[in-house]
Amino acid sequence: MIQRIFLLLFLFGVCLSWPAAAQDTGTMRMQTFGASDSSSVWSKARRLQVGGYGEAVMQRMFYSDSPSRYSYADRYTNESHGRVDLPHVIVYIGYDFGRGWKLGSEIEFEHGGTGTTYEIERTEAEEYETEIEKGGEVAIEQFWIEKTFAPYANLRMGHIIVPVGLTNQHHMPTEFFSVLRPEEESAILPCTWHETGLSFWGRAGAWRYEALFVAGLDAERFSDAGWIADGATSPYEFKIANQYAGAMRIDNHSIKGLRLGASGYYGYSVDNSLKPKRYERYNVRGIVTIGTFDAVYDDHHILARANVVYGNLGGSKDISAVNKRFPSASPSPRTDVASDALSYYVEAGYDVLSFFGNRRYKDNRLYVYAHYGYYDSMYRTAEGIADKAWCERTIVSAGVNYFPMKGLVIKAEYLLRKLADGYNDEPTVSIGVGYSGFFL
């Protein structure tokens, strides 16, 4: 498996090396909000910044959505279902106070937000009742104050993005080909990953660097299908911070059109809950260690990306034993969790409108792309922990991304999720629209 990863990275590097001297058409530009360098978008004439991003999706899945489809695969063949969704709608507000002090904030409406409604229950003496109208989430994704001392020294304090992996750093719908965020990452890592803490970042020449000190993950939220993905969320009104973590990211832009990045995370996850003594008898810290590598090439009408994530969880056997004993009413998934998780993908698209040099709108782009990826949330398990074969998936997809102008994208995609023998494959057809940018 590891050999396959290095072979994919080698082929990706070969494909990128020939146009290295070409003109950079976009890789060096920074995001205007999110986890990016905020100093690149402020203007003395515009101290207030208002923007956002969002996406709307329609899908048809040609497989069963039954929770039992992996336990009794032969019972759920030749089924399909459909969905429409608003995965993320973000409103960004930023303000430049002057003298290097800035504010950044994002409020996220996930899956259309939440809703409740009142009704009169006529069978119960006409009493008023509150019922859940729809699911979803409304959350503060970012809220930070930043002090800029110099381009190479910036301190950000508050609720911030943890830029581990490619998607957490570049998570707007205009920054990935797939209709939904690449599931190779979002299946095993928090996405978008945001925590409260401190971040020190800067730029020096062709390098960008960032180091973070944040609250740790919660081991009670780990699972077989998602590994640590839900560990950053809290079911309470506050985020428990009995344990802490550090993260880092470094990016290089030395080659025109090419950005190379690496990131890492190290932190404790046990005892980060309301009842920390659950794990006391096991003497385990639940150390989470993650390493990633990613690359993006954008030039010569080619847009290509590659990403590898590998993670390890210390004490996974003891964490599994504790979590499986939680009562059914607890927010814990109550499943085993693996010691190691792995994901990787490569994708590349070509702007076919570049063949028409005399077209009316020169900024139109139409990428035809292909994508190949793999992930396994139970890549390795501790002794006594069963490896669930349905957690290993290969992703093959292809589609188009049409950009009528900067900041707007229309997407169409066919995706095939291939599972191990004995399980049904999961093909999906998706279309979506998205935007990102500033309005003020």
**Ranges of each domain in the chain:** 2-438
φ and ψ at residue 3, rounded to 5 degrees: -60, -40
Tell me the pLDDT tens digit for each residue of 167-192: 999 999 999 999 999 999 999 999 99
Q: How far apart are CA 162 and CA 176, in angstroms?
A: 18
What residue ranges in 269-317 does DSSP mark as E strands?
288-299, 302-313
pLDDT attached to residue 363: 84
Q: Which of 248, 50, 95 is nearest to 163 (CA)?
A: 248
Q: Which of 71, 69, 93, 87 is nearest to 79 (CA)?
A: 69
Tell me the pLDDT tens digit for each residue of 103-135: 999 999 998 887 665 555 554 455 556 666 667
Q: What is the DSSP letter of 8?
A: H
Tokens encoding 299:
């030039």
Find the mean pLDDT for residues 146-157: 98
**Single-letter residue type at 147:** K
Tokens encoding 185:
């990452």
C-alpha neighbours within 13 Å on the C-beta side of residue 258: 16
More confidently predicted of 329 and 407:
407
Task: Please check the confidence at residue 15 and state whether its pLDDT lies above 80.
Answer: no
pLDDT attached to residue 101: 97
Q: Which of 270, 343, 349 is nearest to 305 (CA)?
A: 349
pLDDT attached to residue 121: 52
**Single-letter residue type at 198:** L
Q: What angle do CA 305, 109, 412 make, to 5 degrees?
A: 40
Tokens encoding 290:
């993650």
φ and ψ at residue 10, rounded to 5 degrees: -65, -45
Tokens encoding 71:
């336990």
| Structural domain 2-438, CATH architecture | Beta Barrel (2.40)
Tokens encoding 167:
């998607």
Q: Which of 426, 433, 431, 422 is nearest to 73 (CA)?
A: 422
Lowest mean pLDDT among 41-50, 91-100, 237-246, 267-276: 41-50
Say which residues have a Cβ less than 8 Å from residue 155's Cβ, sequence separation at least 6. 146, 147, 149, 198, 199, 200
Averaged confidence pLDDT in the chain: 87
